[in-house]
Amino acid sequence: MTEKLVRFGVTVPEDVLAEFDRRLEQSGKRNRSDMIRQMIRAYITEGRWQEEEGQVFGTVTLMYDHHSPLISKKLTAVQHDHGGVIICTNHVHVDHDTCLECIVLRGAASRIRAFIGALGRMKGLKSLDTVVTSGL
C-alpha cells in the first residue's frame, strides 16, 4: 500500500540548509524529502513509546567506572529484575577504569520505561543513552 504524500514548505536559514545538504550528501540519502521523512518518523517515535503501550525495540548504552562501589553488582541486579525485556547485552572494557555496556531490548513500552527508569536511578553511571522505536 502506497502512502499518500503531502507537500509542505520549510523555511530555514541558508547556512543551516547548506550544512543539512552537506550532511545529506555524506549520508548517501537520495534527497531532502527522504531525510526529512526519516527525521519526522524518528521524532514521533521518540515520544510515542513513552506515552503509549505496545511492543517497542531499543538499545540502552551505559558507561561507568567499574571501580564505583557495587556498580557491577547493582547493574546485574537491575538487569535480572527486568530480564524479560533484555534480548542481549554486550560488555566492553574501554580502558582500565571504564566499561561500556550495550543492552538490546524488546517488550512492552511500560516494561522498557520501567527498566530505563531503574537504570536512571542508579548512582555511578557516567552516561545512559537510549534509542527506542516502535517501528513507525
Q: What is the pLDDT of residues 21-33, one digit of tens each?
A: 999 989 887 789 9
User: Residue 129 pLDDT more than 80?
Assistant: yes
- Percent helix, strand, coil in the chain, to 5, is 45, 30, 25
> How far, rounded to the nearest angstrom, does the alpha carbon of residue 119 sit from its chain's CA centroid?
14
Fold of 55-133: Alpha-Beta Plaits (3.30.70)
- Output the CA torsion sign for 105, 110, 114, 117: positive
Quote the CA–CA distance of 130 and 40 in Å, as a whole number.
18
Q: What is the pLDDT of residues 33-60, one digit of tens each?
A: 988 988 888 787 777 777 777 888 999 9
Q: What is the mean pLDDT of residues 100-129?
A: 94
In this prediction, residue 122 carries a pLDDT of 92
